Copies of this chain bind each other. A is one copy, B any other.
Amino acid sequence: MKNLLILICSLLIFSCQPKHQEVEIIAAEDPLPSWNDTPNKKSIIEFVTAVTTEGDAKFVPVAERIATFDNDGTLWCEQPLYFEFLFSIDAVRYAGKENHALITSPEMKALVAGDMKTFMQRGEKGLMEALMISHTAMSVDEFNTLTKSWLDTAVHKRFGKKYGELTYQPMVELLQYLRDKQFKTYIVSGGTTAFMRNFAEGTYGIPPEQTVGTMFAAEFVDKDGSYQVNLKPQLFHFDDKEGKPVAIYQFIGRKPILAFGNSDGDLQMLQWTSTNSLPNLELILHHTDSVREYAYDRESHIGKLDKALDEGRQKGWVIVDMEKDFKTVFSFQ
C-alpha cells in the first residue's frame, strides 16, 4: 500500500475519457450475450446446466444453490481506488464542516482542509480512519441518505460516469442467469454491507439480506419511543481473506457451490467453496484489459491477484480473462 499517495494523486488528475459507444444487448437463446464464445463461457454454462438439470449426475437441489460474489473488482470497477474509499474521502470533507467529534488527528484535519499530501502520510491507516468516520456515529438512515446522495452525484474521473454505472455487464448477466436457474446470489465483499446495500439491489438485483460485507457495530436506541439503529465506530466483522468463509458461515450457513472473486482477498472464499461435497465452480476475474478497463494483477495496490492466480491455475479454477472473455465490459461502452 506504499504507493497509495501516487494513486490518490493520479486519481485527482486523471484525464476524463468518457466513451459513448452504446451497445444494445438483446438476450435470445444465449443467457450470457455480453460474453464472447470462449471456453470459459462454455465452462460456466455447462456447470450451471448440469447442476440445475434433474437426473444429471451433478444435479444440486435448489436450496443448496448458493453463489457468492466479491464486489470490488468482480462486479464493479475498483480502480484507481476502491470507490468506497473515494466516498469516505468526500464524506469526511463534508462531515468536517460540522466539527465532527471523530475528526481529531492531524491527517483527518488535513483531509478536511483539502491537504491530500498530509492526509496520505498515514497510508492505508488514514483511509481506514476516514472509512470509520464516514460510516459511523450516525443513524443507519443518515448514513443511507449520505451514501445515496454521493452515488447520485459523484463521477469517476476516467470514465465520466457515476459509480453505479461502472458495473460489469457480463457479471450482471451472470447474476441474472444464476437467479433464473434458482440460485440465491450473494455478495461477500470487503466493502461494507452498509455502503453496498445502497446500490446492490438496483444495480445487481441482490437484496439487502443477501449483501454481506465488512460491518461496524450497531446499537438500538430508544429515545422516548422513537427508535433508531446507530452505527458505532467499532469493527464488528472484517470481511476479507479468512473473514469471507467466516461470514459465509455466520451469515449464510451453507457452503456455496459457486464463488467468484478477483483478488487474493477472495482466495479463502474460493478454497472454502472448492471443498463443497456438492459439485462446485470457482472463478477468478483477471483484469487484463487496459483499453476498456484496467490491466493489473500481482503488483497492484488495489485488488492484488497473486497467490490466488497461482492456486487457481494449479487447481483448474476458471480464470476469466476480461480482454478475451468479455464482449462488453460496461453497458455504456
| A residues whose Cβ falls under 8 Å from a Cβ of B | 63, 66, 140, 184, 193, 197, 201, 207-209, 211, 215, 218-220, 222, 226-227, 229, 236, 242-246, 249-254, 268, 271-272, 275
Q: A208 near B246 (CB under 8 angstroms)?
A: no
Complex: A272 Cα to B193 Cα, angstroms: 20
Complex: A222 Cα to B270 Cα, angstroms: 12
Give every chain B residue within 8 A of A246 (Cβ-Cβ).
Answer: 218-220, 229
Given the known inter-chain contacts A227-B245, A227-B275, A229-B245, please indicate yes or no for A193 contacting B268, CB distance below 8 A: no
Task: Identify 11 residue pairs between A and B in the complex whose beta-carbon atoms are under 8 Å apart, listed by A's number.
Answer: A193-B253, A208-B252, A209-B253, A211-B253, A218-B250, A220-B244, A220-B245, A220-B268, A222-B268, A229-B246, A251-B251
Tell me the smallest distance from the CB of A175 to a CB of chain B, in Å: 16
Complex: A249 Cα to B63 Cα, angstroms: 24
Given the known inter-chain contacts A218-B246, A220-B245, A220-B268, please indicate yes or no for A209 contacting B193, CB distance below 8 A: no
Give every chain B residue within 8 A of A251 (Cβ-Cβ).
Answer: 209, 251
Q: B184 near A209 (CB under 8 angstroms)?
A: yes
Give every chain B residue within 8 A of A66 (Cβ-Cβ).
Answer: 209
4 pairs of A and B residues whose beta carbons are closest in the complex: A208-B253, A220-B242, A220-B245, A229-B249
Give every chain B residue within 8 A of A193 (Cβ-Cβ).
Answer: 250, 253
Complex: A323 Cα to B210 Cα, angstroms: 39
Complex: A294 Cα to B167 Cα, angstroms: 55
What residue of chain B has the Cβ atom nearest to residue A208's Cβ? B253
What residue of chain B has the Cβ atom nearest to residue A64's Cβ? B207
What residue of chain B has the Cβ atom nearest to residue A273's Cβ? B227
Q: B222 near A271 (CB under 8 angstroms)?
A: yes
What residue of chain B has the Cβ atom nearest to residue A274's Cβ? B227
Give every chain B residue within 8 A of A254 (Cβ-Cβ).
Answer: 207-209
Which of A66, A227, A245, A250: most chain B CB closer than 10 A?
Answer: A250
Complex: A219 Cα to B249 Cα, angstroms: 10
Complex: A251 Cα to B184 Cα, angstroms: 16
Complex: A219 Cα to B242 Cα, angstroms: 7
Give every chain B residue within 8 A of A229 (Cβ-Cβ).
Answer: 245-246, 249, 272
Give every chain B residue within 8 A of A275 (Cβ-Cβ).
Answer: 226-227
Give every chain B residue within 8 A of A220 (Cβ-Cβ).
Answer: 242-246, 268, 272
Give every chain B residue within 8 A of A219 (Cβ-Cβ).
Answer: 242, 246
Give every chain B residue within 8 A of A243 (Cβ-Cβ).
Answer: 220
Given the known inter-chain contacts A215-B250, A242-B219, A249-B218, please indicate yes or no for A227 contacting B272, CB distance below 8 A: yes
